[in-house]
Copies of this chain bind each other. A is one copy, B any other.
Amino acid sequence: MISERLKKQFIHIVGSENYLDSKAEKLVYSYDATPNYQAMPDAIIVPRNTEEVSQIVRLCNEHKIPLVPRGSGTNLCAGTCPTEGGIVLLFTRMNKLLELDEENLTATVQPGLVTLDMIQAVEAKGLFYPPDPSSMKISTIGGNINENSGGLRGLKYGVTRDYVLALEAVMPNGDVIRTGGKLAKDVAGYDLTRLFVGSEGTLCIITEATLKLVPMPETKQTMLALYQDIEAAAKTVSTIISNKIIPATLEFLDQPTLEVVEDFAKIGLPTDVQAVLLIEQDGPLEVVARDMQKIQEICLAERAVSVQVAQSELEAEALRTARRSALSALARLKPTTILEDATVPRSEVAAMVKAINEIAIKHQVKICTFGHAGDGNLHPTVATDARDHEEMERVEAAFEDIFAKAIELGGTITGEHGVGMMKAPYLEWKLGAEGIAAMKAIKLAFDPNNIMNPGKVFAKESRKRVVVSR
């Protein structure tokens, strides 16, 4: 609870128009894109600059008030749900592109900047910012950094972490620190930059970031490979890479996903095949042509029933957009859409796809699977209804089995969505008690009062690893 006296202090910092605490406003920020998580904040504060953030953090630390930084709330791990109340720190007013440095190939941004807005500004200069989470039309860079967002181009280009060169951050005690620089090399002390990327708002509040850009690839080609055998599609993925070709994009969609996406996007996707791979290569013209030719041969050798190359950028963009809309399309099916993010070494994609289908049968749930196959990052998804408790139990049991299998195959419980509230109970499966202890030590050292997004990453109770047979 925030006392009247404290409320006045907050308003003194940001102005009354930037302090929101009506019931309606609190309701709006009581949830994010993650189904089944909701909790009311005590207030929403919209800071305008780093100094204001620092003052707010100091007050919160003094009064032990939870702070949840939030961009657009598009995360899928309940990372911005204010589970323990407190303040939602909303970055809509800190949304500027501060600098685009064409000599050093960097962009310096405020956290509230919408990802696509930045990408478009960068591309207008012939430069390229590769991380492209599916939510990029509305997600913010700050959110991307806090969650270490991935996207469709992770295989060749890496994830958000690989593009963050420098950060300004407000520490839990209100200190403002700067990490890194416009530097290709910097080993002055521990790599706080990368420790903060993906820390989900639990260690600090990020108030500015300098991002690495690369030259825009000259050209790009897109193809669809169609399969009647789902495991043949999955197998193709590792064959392409072990042939030493790294495509820019290597996406997998199974038949149920295709059907739903086609119904949503209506661009003529095949719905009578068991799976497709959406493959893109970018780079110099000659190289793209050569790689695409080779990839086509590999697909056919791996029993693709046909390979279709997009004939225009318009057609290619339609395919990409359709893929990006998979979650929205699936979300239309039923009231609750639960999308997971288990990730395995890419050599295990075929084994994982097979396991997911077996687990679906075992628990009698319908799982649509799509995802970044080149990264081993799959998104098995269930359309369900949270009010159907019996089905929800089966869904949860299925996902537990999927997590266990992913870890058994050398994988992880989350490739790009983050831990948040949602996966916290499973984190120990991946890290062991000792790994969790090491991470908790950092959290406690930075944030002894546990004001920074409390309840995220670390669970009060871990799930038992042994899945009880049902």
Contact of A430 among B155, B171, B188, B419 (CB under 8 A): B188
B154–A184 contact, CB under 8 A? yes
Which residue in chain B gives the minimum CB-CB distance to A446?
Answer: B441
Q: Is A185 an interface residue (CB 8 A)?
A: yes
Query: Which residues of chain B are near A195, meaning CB under 8 Å?
Result: 190-191, 194-195
How close is A115's CB to chain B, nearest CB, in angstroms? 17
Establish whether residues B412 and A181, one from each chain, have CB atoms under 8 Å apart when the complex forms: yes
Query: With an 8 A cutoff between CB atoms, is A124 at the interface?
Result: no
How many chain A residues touch the partner (CB < 8 A)?
91
A175 touches B412 (CB 8 A): no
| Copies of this protein chain in the complex | 2
Asked if A466 lies at the interface with its beta carbon under 8 angstroms from chain B, I say no
A104 lies within 8 A of chain B by Cβ: yes
Contact residues in B for A446 (Cβ distance below 8 Å): 438, 441
Q: Is the CB of A181 within 8 A of B345?
A: yes
Q: Binary interface profile of A, 434-470, with partner B (CB < 8 Å = 1, else 0)?
A: 1111110110111000000000010000000000000
Q: Contact at B185–A159, with CB atoms within 8 Å?
A: yes
CA distance A437 to B177 in the complex (A): 10
A45 to B320, CA, bound (A): 56
Given contacts A284-B290, A412-B181, contact A187 B435 (CB under 8 A): no
Return chain B residues, CB-CB under 8 Å to A457. Answer: 189-190
Query: Which B residues lie within 8 Å of A11 (CB)?
Result: none
**Contacting chain B: which of A23-31, A273-281, A368-376, A386-394?**
A368-376
**Interface residue from B179, B343, B444 paired with A183 (Cβ < 8 Å):** B343
Contact with B along A193-215 (1 / 0, CB 8 A): 01101110001000000000011
Type the 1/0 row for A273-308, where 1 means its CB is closer than 8 Å to any CB of B: 000000000011011001000000000000000000
Residue pair B161, A191 in contact (C-beta under 8 Å) = yes
A residues near B (Cβ < 8 Å) are: 101-105, 126-127, 147-148, 150, 154-155, 158-159, 161-162, 171, 175-179, 181-192, 194-195, 197-199, 203, 214-216, 238, 241-242, 244-246, 283-284, 286-287, 290, 343-347, 372, 374-377, 410-419, 423, 427, 430-432, 434-439, 441-442, 444-446, 457
